[in-house]
Chain A
Amino acid sequence: MLREFKILRRHGIQYIPDLRNAKVSDNLTGRPVIDKAITAEEADMVKKVCPAGAINASPFSIDMGKCLFCKECSFMLPNRIRFTNDYKLASNRRENLIIRAGEDKPVQFSHHSVRPEIRRLFRHALKLRQVSAGGDNSCEMELNAAGNVNFDMGRYGIEFVASPRHADGIVITGPVSENMAKALKMTYDAIPEPKIIILAGVDAIRGGMFKNSKAINREFLALHRADLYVPGNPVHPLTFINGVLDLIGVK
């Protein structure tokens, strides 16, 4: 018993008190900021290097729905592109994930376009079913971490559940492999209405490095509109939690 107390005392308080304003390391790779003075040649150069095709050269922008956060563009042009530690990257509109040169403001969340029933029903309790469809297990581990003693999103009534029948929505990771396409659809169909779809990570949002692979089948995503896009490679637990809170309307 005494030894347990000793362990607990050392353990101390681990949870992050304010998830909305958690302080993180300066080195976290978050929202990029691009100098608007970036030249056409520079733009061309980094566009060629970007492994994910996330860069548009003119007008210059980085699409966080495609970005792998590898930072190679920033190593190439340290004076033009830098990655801030802003982890609030999620949005309910796909186009809000595009960061243009000269912009340095939080990622926009289009509150008016959230379906009203989402906030009416899920504000105090949101149960989610996770489906990994070709995910590489890093996003999956971060979603697990969102519920651990450090991040503890359970405090908001947000929880992952075992059965789709108990869920209010689905969180998809991975580019959706052909071999998982059917199971994904069946899981989604088993969730009672109304239900939400969250895409977590670059693979789910746009297919990431796999978008041209013949082993991928993204038909499900062509047929269903996502309610939340959470960028990251993998998603950081704080990015996920803050995105979900924005979606269900928790201040």
Chain B
Amino acid sequence: MENALINTNPGAIALNEIPVVDYNEFYDRCRSLLQHEQNHCLNYFGWPDGKKIRYFCLIADDKQHSIYVLSHVQPAGKTIQLKALSAEITAMQVFEREIHEKYGVDFTGHPWLKPLRYAFNRYDRSKTPTTYPFYSIASEELHQVGVGPVHAGIIEPGHFRFICNGENILHLEIQLGYQHRGIENLFVQHKALLQQAVLAEQIAGDTTIGHSVAYAGIAETLTHFAEPAPLGIIRSIALEMERIAIHIGDTAALCTDIAYQLGQISLEPLRTTVINTMLEWCGNRFGKGFIRPAGSHYYPDKKFLTLLRSNLNDISERFTEITARIYSLPGVLARFEECGMVSNEQVRQIGAVGMAARMSGLARDIRISHPSMAYKDTIISSVTFDSGDVLARGLLRKAEVIESINYIFRLIDQYNSLTDNKNLPEPDFNLSFRQNMLAIGLAEGWRGEICHTAITDDNGNIIHYKIKDPSLHNWMALALAVRKEEISNFPVNNKSFNLSYCGFDL
């Protein structure tokens, strides 16, 4: 029996075309697929279907641009034991933890079977954030530092537990879940497409566009909507604008953390210009309201495109000038270079995606491997670095800002040269979805790979919705980065990743 395959992004497959195999067979298939370098797991989750739970594992093939769909079924409502895939494929640990938390599956041989986010519908309600089993080392030499959930700044909550030897961090454990809002379930509760679209904008507000295009992909693939070129172009521009804004803002924040004030104050207004350009386009600095299923309210006119180009030109010049200075100062380099290194082997092991993979030479990028929107026809070049330190993360952001700006310039030219810009579709909230399907939408947000999955029932209603923010994998990269670092280097490492709490907690 062959594995089921989805060949497009977004894409869908009928539920009855996905073969259900027994667990041993599932295990072997997953293991053999995941041993190839070009494959990695996008998501692995359960769907409670009456008295049983059906599990789906989605594995991306970066070379073939396709997605394998594997499935097994287990009884619901009781604790069962399964052999952990994580014992051999470490990157699976986070998915198996989630399944363990939600459905009580006891994964034998799992290296780290701990609570993930304390979802309200977890299997064992007696487990709460206050009973989290932190890793500890019995030693009189070592001490622990606990930080959070409320941090010293305007930032989302999470708990960080450091085990330190003097000033040096031996181990960091990150406990999340405080932001859990039950958002996946709301995609099922709210049947109206507009409600689902605004929910997607709130999965992680700093990735409004990234998550929204993943949802729009799901809605459109479930209705066979063919995205016209101009729509794909403006969505891609918005996605790159989001990347540019955050990367500039995070570079400013990195400067703040090392007290390089000129860097901070000169970059902050550049980010302001980027998000104010979004406001000029759609009324909202974060692009909330911009992405809607099956069309857009915001096809730009010539005047806006001219403004966009001139703002980006200005930003590009100033950003280049400032960052050239930042990354040539010995005081900056001394703080960033060889600080918080994560090796290529480590990022592979933990299944890092996006920026956190590319900083260490792992070229994972949905815009290249599973392109949608404008990325299908107009290739963007994906930037990678090798050193995996704070400097690599900083330089990666710098390079991506410039690449994204140039990419937008090309898209503006294309948009202007399109002749069939008449009768472009407006958003449509009255679509009915195909029945009994599994649909998937992927996007490369500024942090990395975003994966949405929906399952529809006999009436075409969404009965299960699954979201993966890149932070699900990448928090582990931060925990690894700060090992052996001085604890005072934690902030600069944290900022260099800038991971999402709400995106992880859902």
Contacts and interface: CB of A to CB of B under 8 A. Distances in A.
Q: Do A and B bind each other?
A: yes
A40 interface: no
A7 B285 contact: no
A183 B276 contact: no
Contacts of B282: 27
Nearest to A190: B150
A187 B148 CA distance: 11
Contact of B297 (A75, A139, A177, A214): A75
Interface string B175-186: 001111111011
Contact of B181 (A142, A143, A213): A213
Interface of B: 118-121, 129, 149-150, 152-157, 177-183, 185-186, 189-190, 192, 194-195, 197-199, 202-206, 208, 249, 262, 265-266, 268-269, 272, 276, 279-286, 288-289, 297, 318, 321-322, 325, 426, 429, 500-502, 505
A215 B120 contact: yes
B203 to A, nearest CB: 7
The 10 A-B pairs of least Cβ separation, nearest first, read A138-B205, A215-B182, A162-B152, A136-B205, A29-B283, A215-B120, A213-B182, A51-B195, A14-B269, A130-B154
Interface stretch (A97-105, A107-115, A144-152, A220-228): A144-152
B447 to A, nearest CB: 12
Interface residues of A, number: 64
A14 B156 CA distance: 28
17 contacts: A10-B318, A25-B280, A71-B289, A133-B157, A134-B181, A136-B502, A138-B208, A140-B154, A140-B156, A149-B265, A160-B153, A160-B154, A175-B181, A214-B185, A215-B185, A216-B182, A234-B285
A51 B194 CA distance: 6
Contacts, number: 190
Contact of A180 (B157, B198, B203, B269): B157
Nearest to A162: B152
B150 A183 contact: yes
Given A137-B502, A150-B268, A183-B157, A209 B186 contact: yes
Given A183-B149, A213-B186, A214-B182, A136 B204 contact: yes
A60 interface: no
A72 B293 CA distance: 13
A70 B289 contact: yes
Given A140-B154, A183-B178, A233 B265 contact: no
